[in-house]
Amino acid sequence: MGCLVVHTISLAGQVSASASTVLVTPQTLDEVMGRLAAGGDTTYVVNFWATWCKPCVAELPHFDKLYREQRDSGVVVLLVSVDDPKELTKKVAPFVRRKAYLPQVVLLNESKPHEWIDRVDPTWSGAIPATLFFRNGRRLFRETEFTFEELRHELKEFMKGSP
Amino acid sequence: MRMMLAFLAASVISMVPVTAADLPDGVKPGDIAPNFILNNVDGKRVGLASYLDAKGVILVFTCNHCPYSVKYEDRIIALHKAFGPKGFPVLAINPNDTVVSPEDSFAKMQERAQEKSFPFPYLFDADQNVAKAYGARRTPHVFLLKRTPKHFIVEYIGAIDDNPNDANAVDEKFVEKAIAELVDGKPVTTQTTKAIGCTIKWKK
């Protein structure tokens, strides 16, 4: 169950900084949250979604667009799939390859939702889509489906609160 | 100026989507279960008052379209077959708006109930007031109720078990354990759990 690797080429035609980007990375929630905590001044927009969730799939292009628009201002978008980890190669990776979104996709490598949902946010019921904004320990959690305008608005408001 | 302020206010409001935080909190364990009466797929009216001879009710907000509800369908049927005879039958409610989610229409509910031979009622919460009164957020979402002489009391809120993806790899069966404790006259030790699920499709 290895990772699938593709090469991303920047608009300038050069191979991007990391030389290659992993298409879908299985990670535990600790790994995801640890990355946010270590991110310093980076603003993270973390969207929880699944291939089986229609409103999530409808919303993903907004996160892609947001990332394309905001990546130069220190914003990282992470698309965290809560699909069954067993469906990485059969379902999630093909979906991600087909869609070719720019933000990194993580497949949450957890099997007991009741153990990790509260660690994302205590107010989360577990319904998806849901989105966590995170910067330097500051967080904003939204259990909702966004239009692109709403998403950009939330990010702008969140970033206003940053020193 | 006033017009402009009103316009500004309206545009700000329209930017903010309805989030779970805007919905009523609903019930907590220990609360009296709100009463209701809704249409069942068989055309009859069913509510908590239909269960006055039961020890309790396994109330499940579920629906047709949600893949997580589908993953749990057979487990919900199994719960009813195992615990119905012990006084804890399943009562299923579809809370979804059928404009947002046409697959969850009453006609489609009737089809699904027939296909799967649901051995329990499958009610339609057309105005979504029951889901709001309970604070249901997703499908499937279980509210385990215990009957007392005067009321039904909420004893457990959450998931059916701890592994949605694999019924064979379940370690903890939350609903079964809570029922066993109630049957033994003990307090329920795990009163709430969380689970991934589909958002309830609220009317727009």
Residues of chain A neighbouring B171 (CB-CB closer than 8 A): 112
Cβ contacts from A onto B, under 8 A = 88
Instruction: Give me the count of residues in chain A.
Output: 163
Question: Looking at the complex, does the CB of residue A58 fall below 8 Å from at least one CB of chain B?
Answer: no
DSSP per residue over chain B, as a string? -HHHHHHHHHHHHHHS---GGGS-----TTSBPPP-EEEETTS-EEEGGGGTTSSEEEEEE--SS-HHHHHHHHHHHHHHHHHTTTT--EEEEE---TTT-GGGSHHHHHHHHHHTT-SS-EEE-TT-HHHHHHT--EESEEEEEEE-SS-EEEEEEE-SSS-SS-GGG-S--HHHHHHHHHHTTPPPS--B----EEEP----
The phi and psi torsions of B52 (rounded to 5 degrees) equal -70, -15
Whether ipTM > 0.85 holds is: no
CA atoms in the 13 A half-sphere facing the CB of A16: 11
Question: Looking at the complex, does the CB of residue B42 fall below 8 Å from at least one CB of chain A?
Answer: no
Of A86, A124, A153, nearest to B15 by CB-CB distance is A153
List the single residue in A with minimal CA-CA distance to B190. Answer: A114
Domain B21-199 annotated CATH 3.40.30.10:
yes
- Tens-of-pLDDT digits for all 204 residues of chain B? 444 444 444 444 445 455 666 677 899 999 999 999 999 999 999 999 999 999 999 999 999 999 999 999 999 999 999 999 999 999 999 999 999 999 999 999 999 999 999 999 999 999 999 999 999 999 999 999 999 999 999 999 999 999 988 899 999 999 999 999 999 999 999 999 998 999 999 998
Per-residue pLDDT tens over the stretch A82-115: 999 999 999 999 999 999 999 999 999 998 899 9
- Do the chains contact at A128 and B169, CB–CB below 8 Å? no
Are B170 and B162 in contact by the 8 Å Cβ rule? The answer is yes
Residues of chain B neighbouring A118 (CB-CB closer than 8 A): 194
- Do the chains contact at A143 and B20, CB–CB below 8 Å? yes
- Do the chains contact at B20 and A144, CB–CB below 8 Å? yes
Provide the shortest C-alpha distance from residue A39 to chain B (in Å): 27
- Do the chains contact at B200 and A127, CB–CB below 8 Å? yes
